[in-house]
Each structure stands twice: as structure tokens, then as C-alpha cells.
Structure 1
Amino acid sequence: MLRPLSFVLVVLLAAGCTVAGDEGGGETGTGGTGPITFATGRDTTAYLQPLLDRWNQAHPAEKVTLLELPEAADEQRAQMVANLQAQSNRYDVLGLDVVWTAEFAENGWIIPLERGLFPLDRFLPPVVDTAVYKGKLWAVPYTSNAGLLYYRTDLIKKPPQTWAELRDKAREVTKKRDLGGYATQLLAYEGLTVNFSEAVQSAGGQILNHDGTEVTLDPAKGRIALDFLMQGLREGWITDDSLRFKEEETRLAFQEGRLAFARNWPHAYGPARAKLGDRFAVTRLPGLNGPGSSTLGGINLAVSAYSKYQHTAQQFIRYFTSLENERRVLTEGSFPPVWTELYDDPGLIKRFPYLPVLKESILAAKPRPVSANYNQVSLVIASSVTKALANPAKESADDVAASMKSELEEIIRTQ
């Protein structure tokens, strides 16, 4: 899930205030059992409630109530932060965007979990990494995600593996046909941070170290990543529309036949199949010298530090992330699961042909920069890249990359 740059300031205004109907911070502790609430983003597929009903039928004294937060990730985070800063026990289980783990752990809003309670060795390893901070497990992976390159098989016989191949094929198609070459998400929001992070990773670089304590962005790698985007816009094979696109706009443009290539998440596969049939496929994102590295997305489940029923909350997470339910996450919710073996299931692959490529992409993917001040980190990255892309013919990629590194170092020093 992605968050717009305009982070909702209600977090600051609501700090210390409870939501109507909240109880104050009551007794907490890992041994508590009783009814719990599951706070997560709005269920747009209606697949969650049947899973909750199965738990409730088996646990009448520990029923779970779904508390749907807004669909937009920044608004979800705003409500969660306001609740947790008020030390309210209204939320028990939290559905966190994978980039929030460090922040919530660092602030003491969630509790560390015992690794042995969960079959983490059967999960995709990079997905597990998103739930770990400073050597401790703070959440349990529930869904995953990785960016994919969508391409028209009726126009491109062999998918590109490098940026140079993507450029050449996109330019070739646009010369012959009245459609765009490559589109991605370059609007000034979280999607831009994702795209830049993927470009840096795909050039062999890294923005922050593993625990977010040091800026490791090599200005040369930053320049290469910026040049990839800036050059594409200058030459026209990256569409100008990308500067206004989020995921939904990209999805529509591709499935309506207006693009040869598009970067998007797996959720765009089904609608594209309905519109384009067999005239498209997906592959890993290209990189500087070969297949690139995507950014990891997804949702992790954590237990509020202020929950009165933390034992029930952890047992519910065990149930909710079980193999049986993870299969339903895919088949009924159309979300990428976290269990490795589901990506190798022949029946599921027949139904979801993108699974093998998605597995490769997740295994090669990396989290967005890990930081307790992730929101500030993301703001700096996206604002810096926006400056470069606003005038790609005149801005210096070297200067923008150096300035970005300096601003990021200031954030890390003060956290």
C-alpha cells in the first residue's frame, strides 16, 4: 500500500485525544484473553468477514470485530497514530503497511512477538525482513507485493531485461504505432519514492543501511537512477502522463491499450486480462545491467502495546496467517500471499499465471528505506526527484542526488 506525500496533519492535532467510543489505556499484557478488534484498511473485496466469522464461531469468548479504516494508507496511519499516542486500547490487532514497522516499534506502540509462534521459515524471506526491526520480530507478514513490468505480447516478442532494452523497444513501438511507450508512477506521492527506490536498487545501490542508521546512497548510483527517469522523459519513451499517474491511472492506460509497457503491482493483472486477454504478460522490472529489483509492498499484522487482550491478539494473528487462510487471501482477495509454497502450486499457477514471476520479483525485492522517521525520508526522496523530473532538460542529476543525500543524513542524525 502506498501513501501520498501530503501526510495528514490530523496526526499532530489528534495526538493525545481518543476517538469517540475509545476506552482509556487499560490493563495490558501478553496473557490477556477476550474480545478484540482488528483495525485495517477498508476491505474492498469483501473477503475478510468470512475469515473473521470462522474465528468467531470457534472462539465465542474471544470474538474479533473488524474496524475498517479509510482506504488511503496515509489516513489509516493517521488514525492509528492518534489512537496509539492516546494509549487507547480500542485497537488490538493492527494491519500495518510494511514501511511502518520501524516507526511503530521505535515508538513503543506495538509489542515484540515470539518468532517460534509463527512458521516464518515457510514464508518468503524478504517478506519476513519487513517485520523485523533491530533484530526483533514486531509483526507477522500477512500479504506481500512487488512491482512488475506489464508488456504487450502482440507488440513485443521478447520482454526487456535492461533499461536500455526497455528504451529501445518502447521507442520502436511508439514510432510504428499511435500509443505510449512506458508509463509508471511519477506523481509526487509515495509511488514516486517507490519508483526511485527501485531505480537505485536496480542500479546496484541502496538508500539507507539495513536498520536505517546510515545513509548509504552513493551519489553516483543516485545519478544513474535519476538519469534513467529523466532521460526517458526527455526522449519521450517514458510518457509525460507518468508525471500525473498513480497506480490506478497506469492500470487504466495499459488495459485500454494506450501503452506498450507499464510498471504496476499484481492487482492490475486481473483487469488487464479481462480487457486484453492473452495480448499481454508480466515480467520482472528491468535494471541497469539485467533484471532489476522491485520494492516490497504488503501488510503486516502487529499487536497494540495498549491492547488488554494481547494473548488473544497473537493467537488470532497465528490463525489469520495460516496456510489455509493465506490461500484464501489469494483466491478470494486476489492479494499476494506470504507462504512460499503457494507460489509453486500448479492449480494456483493455472488460475494466477503471474505467480512464478511474482515469486521471483519478491525474492529479488527490497523494502523501502527502513527508518523510524520514514515519512520524512519519503518526503525528501519524492520532493528531490520531483525537482529533477519537473525540468529534466536542465536539472543536474548529480546535484539533485548530492542534495538528497545531504537532506537524508540530516534526518538520520536527528532521529
Structure 2
Amino acid sequence: MPRSLPVLLAVTLAAGCTAAGDTGGGETATGGTGPITFATGRDTTAYLQPLLDRWNQAHPAEKVTLLELPEAADEQRAQMAANLQAQSSRYDVLGLDVVWTAEFAENGWIIPLERGLFPLDRFLPPVVETAVYKNKLWAVPYTSNAGLLYYRTDLVDKPPKTWAELRDQSREIDKKHNVGGYAGQFLAYEGLTVNFSEAVQSAGGEIISRDGTAVTFDPATGGTALEFLLQGLREGWIPKEALTYKEEESRLAFQEGELAFARNWPHAYGPAKARLGDKLGVTRLPGLDGPGSSTLGGVNLAISAYSKNQHTAQEFIRYFTSLENERRVLTEGSFPPVWTELYDDPDLIKRFPYLPVLKESILAAKPRPVSANYTQVSLVIASSVAKALANPSPETADDVAVSMKSELEEIIRTQ
């Protein structure tokens, strides 16, 4: 999930880098069995412990202990980084945000894994990409995520596929029903990086090359993406209040009837459905000329380079990402799984009607910019876009896009 930036930046600047593949624990998890610790974000749904109990009952000599880190991802990362910089063996399995792969690999904090040990061909392909860096597998996908467009079926006859349709429908609904148009997550934090990255992708562009070595951001395309948001603010179909929205604020505004459309993650479906019932619709994000491209979210499981029981950690990851447990990830934890076939299961679709749309969104999604200095990249994007949104004049978009590219090139040049 998205995270705030200042803590992340501070930890990143403090971290020392080593070459990817120079792992304190060897090239692959080949030895070491015994008790392990699974460090991940706080379990807010209480579904994790029963899964761990099943493992522990079958592996009494290799029990796993859950170490719940703070709910906020930036604080999770800060604690992991401090532990790994100290080369501590306290953590064995790490629940990593999908955007941390490059950094953790470059720092030598995690070890590469043998692809053949995991059924990656049965996972959603874009999700697997988030665990790969410099042609090595550094983690195993555990949960996925992609942005969706939530809309009111009582106000919208046919959901928009393009930005122009979103604009026109939002303005018409406001005139007829006095209901606000569209909002995403536009506060200056990681969520704004996500929303802008989605806009760039949905306009046909990208920000950084897939290998993280070059800035491929085109200021013209970036300006078009930014102008989509600026125009909404100027014309009022994106309310000014949206500049203060994170996930929860945008979810509440939508389900309380203040918006006709809202961009959010799948976790917002349950509460919105409970509130709106049959008035709730879900579709893919719109784009410049057709359906847009979401940003990938989710959690991958990696093994600490300093774990003393890497073989047990590897076997635990194989168990934890199995088809049976991935089904429980959805049904008991309400998180998007990574196995493709679960999105086509009729019983699951009946229970979670958004699954077909979510599958389409994940397959069309792209990772956030890949960089060992991701937090600095994200800070530049979020702060630049926030500055533009605060002054949404027609001249702003192109100037901000040119400046943003220059700052990003400086980060990539010095990494």
C-alpha cells in the first residue's frame, strides 16, 4: 500500500549500498533449519495467525513466530532497514512492499531465490515482475493490488473509459444532482505518486525504464497526464477537498454520497458495498484514449540475507504462497491473491464480484518506477505534482513536467 515519504527518505539516505547479488547469506537458500520469524505489517484482519498455526502444527521443530510491524508501510520499512543494516538475524522472512525489491536487493539485505521452486507460471505475470530485479528473483509474490474506479450506478448509465468521458459525466452529474465528480489520493504522499504514475501510464508513457537505469519520462506525455488532474481542479469536477485525501478520506467521501467516481484499491469495496448496495459499480481506471493502466501494489515475501535458517524460511514461503493459502488470503483476509486461477473461480466471483475487473486491472497494470533510490524518486514526483495541484493554471503542467524530469535524472545519475 502507499506510504508517506519523509521517514522513507531519511532511512534511504542512511542506508549503505552493496551490489545486487552480494548477499551476506549466499546466493540461494541452501541450508539452515529451525525456528523462524516472519516480519510483516500489522494484521488488521486477524487472518494470519491461523495460517501460521497450520505450519507450526506440521513443523514443531521449525515453528514460525509472527512479528507484527507498524501498520504504516514507511514505519515497517524503517524497522526492517535498521535491523538489516545491523546484519541482525532476528528477521527471517520479510513481507516487502512490491516497490522495495530493487533497494533491498542492491543493499544485499535479501537473497536471490531459485525460480523453479515456486509456481510462478500460475501467478499473474505483472505481479511476478515486481519480485524480479536484474533478471533475478528476489522474493515471491504473496498479495497483489491494483487501483479501480468506483462509481455510482444510480448516477452513471455507462462507466467512463476515457478521461474525456469521466470529465463530461462528472460535470453533468454535478449539474443534475449536485454531487461531486471524481477524486483519488491527492495529498502530497506516496498515494500521489501512485495516482500520477497511473495517469502517465494511462497516457501511454512511463517514468523510469524497466531496469531502473534511465529516466524515460517524456515531459509532453507527463504534461498531458498532469493536465488531466489540473483541468479537473480548475473546472471543479475534482473538488478542492481531494487535495487532502488519502485512501480513507476518498473512500468515505465516495460511500457517503459526496462523489460519483473515486479511484481506490480493492479493500474499499467491502465498506462501500455495505453502504451503497446495488448503487456500487466497479470498473477499470479510465485513460487518455481508452481504459487506463493502474499501478501495482501488494506484498512479496523475501528471505533475509542474515537469517540463520534460510532453508526453513524458503519452505515456509512455499507453503504460505500455495494455492490453498492464497484462497484464504482472499476469503479470510480480503486481500487480492496472486494465483491467476482464483480470479476465474465462479464461487469466489459470486462472493467478490469485482474479481474479473481486478484481474483485468492487474494484467494491465505496471509497477511504480523501479529504482534502488525509489524513495527519492517518489518524493520528487509527489512534491512536484503537489506543487502543480496547488496552482492548477493551464501553464503549470509542462513546466512542472520538465523540472520533474531534470530532478529524476539527477537521482538516477547518482545512484
Q: TM-score, normalised by structure 2?
A: 0.96
Cα distance, 1:140–1:81 mapped onto 2, change above 3 Å: same
Contact (CA 8 Å) 1:14, 1:82: kept in 2 or not? Answer: no
How many residues are matched? 407
**How far 1:177 moved relative to its partner?**
1.4
Contact (CA 8 Å) 2:25, 2:305: kept in 1 or not? Answer: no
Contact (CA 8 Å) 1:41, 1:70: kept in 2 or not? Answer: yes
Cα distance, 1:14–1:199 mapped onto 2, change above 3 Å: closer
C-alpha separation in 1, matches of 2:391 and 2:71: 33
Instruction: Give 2:190's aligned residue.
Output: 190
Q: Which residues of 2 match residues 347-358 of structure 1 at below 5 A?
A: 347-358=347-358
C-alpha separation in 1, matches of 2:240 and 2:9: 30
Contact (CA 8 Å) 2:181, 2:260: kept in 1 or not? Answer: yes
**How far 1:329 moved relative to its partner?**
0.2
In the TM superposition, what whole-angstrom CA distance separates every residue of 1:230-262 from its partner, at most 9, and x where no partner exists?
011100101111100000011111111111000
C-alpha separation in 1, matches of 2:165 and 2:11: 45
In the TM superposition, what whole-angstrom CA distance separates every residue of 1:339-362 from its partner, at most 9, and x where no partner exists?
000000000000000000000000
**How far 1:10 moved relative to its partner?**
6.8
**How far 1:30 moved relative to its partner?**
3.0
Instruction: Give 1:135's aligned residue.
Output: 135
Instruction: Give 1:387's aligned residue.
Output: 387
Report the 3-state secondary structure (helix = DSSP H, G, I; strand = E; otherwise coil) of the residue aligned with 1:3. Answer: coil
Cα distance, 1:315–1:208 mapped onto 2, change above 3 Å: same
Contact (CA 8 Å) 1:388, 1:395: kept in 2 or not? Answer: no
Q: Which residues of 2 match residues 120-199 of structure 1 at below 5 A?
A: 120-199=120-199
Instruction: Give 2:89's aligned residue.
Output: 89
Q: Does residue 272 of the first structure (1) align with residue 272 of the second (2)?
A: yes
Q: TM-score, normalised by structure 1?
A: 0.96
C-alpha separation in 2, matches of 1:208 and 1:8: 19
The residue type equivalent to 2:159 in the other structure is P
Q: Which residues of 2 match residues 53-64 of structure 1 at below 5 A?
A: 53-64=53-64
C-alpha separation in 1, matches of 2:48 and 2:12: 31
Instruction: Give 1:315's aligned residue.
Output: 315
Contact (CA 8 Å) 1:170, 1:237: kept in 2 or not? Answer: yes
Q: Which residues of 2 match residues 295-334 of structure 1 at below 5 A?
A: 295-334=295-334
CA RMSD of aligned residues (A): 1.6
The residue type equivalent to 1:141 in the other structure is P
Instruction: Give 1:116's aligned residue.
Output: 116
Instruction: Give 1:20's aligned residue.
Output: none
C-alpha separation in 1, matches of 2:14 and 2:369: 27
Q: Does residue 34 of the first structure (1) align with residue 34 of the second (2)?
A: yes
**How far 1:9 moved relative to its partner?**
6.8
**How far 1:150 moved relative to its partner?**
0.3
Report the 3-state secondary structure (helix = DSSP H, G, I; strand = E; otherwise coil) of the residue aligned with 2:172. Answer: helix
Contact (CA 8 Å) 2:185, 2:246: kept in 1 or not? Answer: yes
Instruction: Give 1:401's aligned residue.
Output: 401
Cα distance, 1:275–1:199 mapped onto 2, change above 3 Å: same
Structure 2: any 5+ residue segments left out of the alignment?
Answer: 17-23
C-alpha separation in 2, matches of 1:190 and 1:364: 21
C-alpha separation in 1, matches of 2:401 and 2:25: 48
**How far 1:144 moved relative to its partner?**
0.2
Contact (CA 8 Å) 1:203, 1:288: kept in 2 or not? Answer: yes
Contact (CA 8 Å) 2:149, 2:284: kept in 1 or not? Answer: yes
Contact (CA 8 Å) 1:143, 1:335: kept in 2 or not? Answer: yes
Cα distance, 1:395–1:387 mapped onto 2, change above 3 Å: farther
C-alpha separation in 2, matches of 1:381 and 1:405: 9
Q: Does residue 208 of the first structure (1) align with residue 203 of the second (2)?
A: no
The residue type equivalent to 1:70 in the other structure is P
Percent sequence identity is 85
Instruction: Give 1:376's aligned residue.
Output: 376
In the TM superposition, what whole-angstrom CA distance separates every residue of 1:288-323 from its partner, at most 9, and x where no partner exists?
000000000000000000000000000000000000
C-alpha separation in 2, matches of 1:317 and 1:93: 8
Contact (CA 8 Å) 1:15, 1:86: kept in 2 or not? Answer: no
C-alpha separation in 1, matches of 2:191 and 2:12: 24
Structure 1: any 5+ residue segments left out of the alignment?
Answer: 17-24
The residue type equivalent to 1:390 in the other structure is A
Instruction: Report which stretch shifted further, 171-180 or 364-373.
Output: 171-180
C-alpha separation in 2, matches of 1:46 and 1:11: 29
Report the 3-state secondary structure (helix = DSSP H, G, I; strand = E; otherwise coil) of the residue aligned with 1:277. Answer: helix
The residue type equivalent to 1:214 in the other structure is A
The residue type equivalent to 1:180 in the other structure is G
C-alpha separation in 2, matches of 1:232 and 1:312: 52
Contact (CA 8 Å) 1:209, 1:215: kept in 2 or not? Answer: yes
